[in-house]
Every structure is written in C-alpha cells, then in structure tokens.
Amino acid sequence: MAIDLDAVMAEVRERVQAKRASGAYGPDVDAALRAPLPGGPAALIDDLHDPLGSLAGLLAQPVEYDLRSRKRYVGRAITAARRVVIGLVRWWINAISERQERVNRLVAAALQEQSARPAPQFDARLARLEREFQERKGAEVAANLHSVYFAARFSGDEPVIRAQSERFLELFQGRRRVLDLGSGRGTFLELARDHGIGAYGVDLDHRMVEEARSRGFECVESDALAHLRSLEQGSVDGLYARHIAEHVLPGELVDLLRECRRVLAAGAPVVMLTPNVATLTVGAHTFWLDPSHRRPIPPELFRFYLEVEGFREVDVRSFEPSELRLSEDVPEGAQLDNVRLLNETLFGMRDYAVIGRQP
C-alpha cells in the first residue's frame, strides 16, 4: 500500500485544529512548545529566526567569561596566569570592546530604524494605490452605472440579435459542442438548439446566466478567459463570441484568441462579432454609447490578430447597414462617386465578424 502523505498530513492538521477548538491545546501547551532552552543563551540557529529581536536582547547582555580552569594539578596555576594576563591587557581590551560596542549599537539602531520606518507608510501607500487602481479600473468601464437602466435604454433588440447570429449558423452546422462566449440571455443557444447544434454558454453576469438556465440552456457563470483556461485542449468544436472583443484590452484579446486556438478541435471555426469602427458614425459615435467598451478594433487589425495567432482561412464579413444614408439620386459621374464614398465611409456596415479556423 502506498502512503498518501498529503492525506496523512491533512488529517494531522485536522486533529491539531480539533484539539485547539476543544481547548485541549491551550495557551499553556503553546507556551511549553515555545519554552526557551534554560541555563544560558539561545543557540545561534534559533536567534537567526528573529535576527532583529535577538539582537536587541543580545546587546543588553553582559559578556560572561569564567577564567577558572578546572584542570587537575595545573588548574590553579592556569587560573592565576589568566588573571595576570587579563589584568595586563584590560585597558587595551576595554578600548577595543568599547569601540566595538559603539559600532554594534549604531548598526543595531540603524537596522531597527530601517526596518521600522518604512513599514507603516509603505502599507498605507500600498493600500491607497490598490484602492485607486480598483477605482480606476471601475471608472474606465463605468462600473458604478446602474446597468439595469442602461440595458433598458441601449441594449439591442432580441430579434436583431437573433437575425445577426443566424447569419453564422451554417458555419456551426453539425457541430456537437460549440461554446458561446458572453451568451447573454441565450439567443444563440436557442438558435443552435433549433438547428440541432450542440452548444453551451459562458457569461459573467449572474442574472443572464440564470435567465439562460431558466430557458433550459447549459450556461456557466465565469469570466471568458478563465473558463477557456479551464478547458482541455481540443475540447470544443466551435466558438462564437458576439460583442466580447470590444470589452477587453488588446492584450487580453490576444490571450483570449490564443486560448481559443488551444481549446478548439482541429478545423473548428471561431466567429467573433464586433462593431465595425471603419464606419465613422460607429467608430466616432455609437461605439462609445457603451461605456464598458474598451477599444475600437479596426477589421484589418482583428484579421491580423487571428492570422498571427495561427488561425486559417481568416475572413472578415461586415453586415447591418446603417439606416441613414445620403441619397444617391444624383447625376452619374463625380457627384455620384462622391456620395457613394461618403455613404460607405459615414454610413457603411455597422458590425463585422471575423472568422477563422483552427488549423
């Protein structure tokens, strides 16, 4: 039988705790376990565990030296000789030891000062910096905003979301385990189910997860990156992420793509939707309607991210035309060309998807 040392030690710790709780292992036993070795100074090895504390005690101690020799026959003579020698060099030794004592005390005081001084300020400053960092992180995405009111005013219509997701369903046809990152209420999951695609979702928002679950969908409450990291290599055969990329920082997006590539099975597709900031009314205006959007991602850059992370057959598809457009009812020629150019630049497609495949 092999010995499971971890299990044995876990039981040992449990027993110690139980005895603490029951009072059997009280302060008296504690004191005994730390009892100093009587009859002289502590061993240096023990002093080294608390050098500063030991130093303070040591400086206060007198130096003891027993000049008596216990040797048989010659002991008395040795003792007498030692006494004479010590008497002769006493003032010289005193001078040396006085100087050394002064050095010791100064060094000890300097060390004490160094170790005591920065600590309180350091802790307070560190605490302030941590607080400010958290506040800043929150402020960057307006974490203090009442999200319910925000969602009521700005969040997309279910039918619109459904129609958007429908465009990409054919890519997942026949797949058995597709992961929807940021699955929300489960719109994509519902579509997948209707089309016989096996899918489950991940969302950070507890209420969204509850809602998706109440509709009978498998949904994990987790951060997307953390969830991806928990998955085995090649364990999902499709990834869908609608409006996730613009909520993370560029480095996080790269991490996310790297993890996606790892968890996707060979040949499996990844589809990521994000606002098309190449359209200026999006890039300059509607993108910023959501304060939790971190960075606009131009389509060329997103394509590059996928290519450089090793995805194959990378493609960008834009969709969702702007409602407002300049009339193209103008004479052909330069005027029409100009209007078309303006329409494309100002009122082009509002979203795009970047698509890739695990090689």
Q: In the range 35-54, which residues lie near other proteins by CB under 8 A?
A: 35, 37-45, 47-48
Asked if 159 is part of the footprint of other proteins (rule: CB under 8 A), the reply reads no
Mapped onto helix, strand or coil, the DSSP state of residue 242 is strand
Asked if 19 is part of the footprint of other proteins (rule: CB under 8 A), the reply reads yes
Asked if 60 is part of the footprint of other proteins (rule: CB under 8 A), the reply reads no
What distance in Å separates the CA atoms of residue 196 and residue 202, rounded to the nearest whole number? 19
φ, ψ for residue 82, nearest 5 deg: -60, -45
* CB 212 within 8 Å of CB 184: yes
Q: Which one, 11 or 315, has the nearer CB to other proteins?
A: 11
Asked if 13 is part of the footprint of other proteins (rule: CB under 8 A), the reply reads yes
Asked if 34 is part of the footprint of other proteins (rule: CB under 8 A), the reply reads yes
Asked if 15 is part of the footprint of other proteins (rule: CB under 8 A), the reply reads yes
CA proximity to 246, closest of 296, 306, 304: 296
* CB 206 within 8 Å of CB 222: no
Asked if 63 is part of the footprint of other proteins (rule: CB under 8 A), the reply reads no
In whole angstroms, the minimum distance from the beta carbon of 53 to other proteins comes to 15
Q: Which one, 24 or 266, has the nearer CB to other proteins?
A: 24
In whole angstroms, the minimum distance from the beta carbon of 42 to other proteins comes to 6
What distance in Å separates the CA atoms of residue 38 and residue 49, rounded to the nearest whole number? 18
Q: Which stretch binds other proteins (CB under 8 A): 24-32, 71-79, 223-231, 325-333?
A: 24-32
What distance in Å separates the CA atoms of residue 268 and residue 245, rounded to the nearest whole number? 19
Query: DSSP labels for 290-301?
Result: STT------HHH
In whole angstroms, the minimum distance from the beta carbon of 109 to other proteins comes to 23
What distance in Å separates the CA atoms of residue 16 and residue 22, rounded to the nearest whole number? 10
Residues of this chain that bind other proteins (CB under 8 A)? 1-3, 5, 8-9, 11-13, 15-16, 19, 24-25, 28-29, 32-35, 37-45, 47-48
